Copies of this chain bind each other. A is one copy, B any other.
Amino acid sequence: MTAPVRKISDKIPEPTLRRLPWYLSCAKLMRGQGEKYVSSTQLSKQINIDASQVAKDLSYVAVSGRTRVGYDIDCLVSVLEDFLGFTNLHKAFLFGVGSLGAALLQDTGLSHFGLEIVGAFDVDPEKVGTTIAGIPVYHTGDFPEIIRQSNVNIGILTVPINIAQEITDYMVGGGIKAVWNFTPFRIRVPEGIVVQNTSLYAHLAVMFNRLNEELK
């Protein structure tokens, strides 16, 4: 009785990708409330997005809803988690054990969403050789050797902006294929290398600006 499931991961638009976690969290929430099925109309109301957009977005992950009952919730949760990469653990190294870097090392929530930080790099002698939340901190100079002995291809960038590009080049030279960039610096990478920018400070700036407008 389960709806047919196929994965079509090619060419999924980024706005769709960004919305999928909303559908996932909403579906998990409804499942927690004992629901067995959820319709795109229900998701649409919960999330405040047009129902036809919800149905279109979900068509990319090839979950088919059944007329009048909607999507099987267990199936929807499972397909979305799988599609979003939350069910596989992706190993990552973190560069720059400053305030934000150390905070991310301590965020165990990341592992529930598929990211396991297995090592961190810094040059500060006070930090090198220690562990933070069980994660070893190595000297940045040891990275090429350490990555050769690992199967890590994700690098998290939390260094000061003046070395953001240099460390990016260093990571990519060592074999990193995706850089999660938390610096407000716009790093450049060769073709084929994935960059995900998450500048908390840029988001803060947007929030402050909008707040000031509202308070005028």
Contact = CB atoms under 8 A, between A and B. Distances in A.
A86 B194 CA distance: 29
A208 B114 contact: yes
Interface stretch (A34-42, A63-71, A94-102, A120-128): A94-102
Interface stretch (A104-112, A142-150, A167-175): A104-112
Given A25-B184, A208-B84, A108 B113 contact: no
| Total identical chains | 2
A62 interface: no
Interface in A1-48: 9-10, 12, 14, 17-18, 20-22, 24-26, 28-29, 32, 46-48
A123 B198 CA distance: 29
A206 B186 CA distance: 18
A37 to B, nearest CB: 19
Nearest to A215: B177
Interface string A66-89: 000000000000000001111000
B178 A207 contact: yes
Interface SS of chain A? helix
A90 interface: yes
Nearest to A161: B25
A115 B99 CA distance: 14
Given A21-B184, A25-B161, A114-B204, 7 more contacts: A9-B212, A17-B206, A17-B209, A22-B202, A103-B104, A110-B200, A194-B207
A66 to B, nearest CB: 24
Contact of A99 (B108, B199, B204, B208): B108
A84 B177 CA distance: 32
Given A10-B213, A25-B185, A107-B103, A17 B205 contact: yes
Contacts of A193: 214
A14 B102 CA distance: 30
A60 B103 CA distance: 34
A186 B103 contact: no
Given A22-B185, A48-B188, A211-B154, A201 B9 contact: no
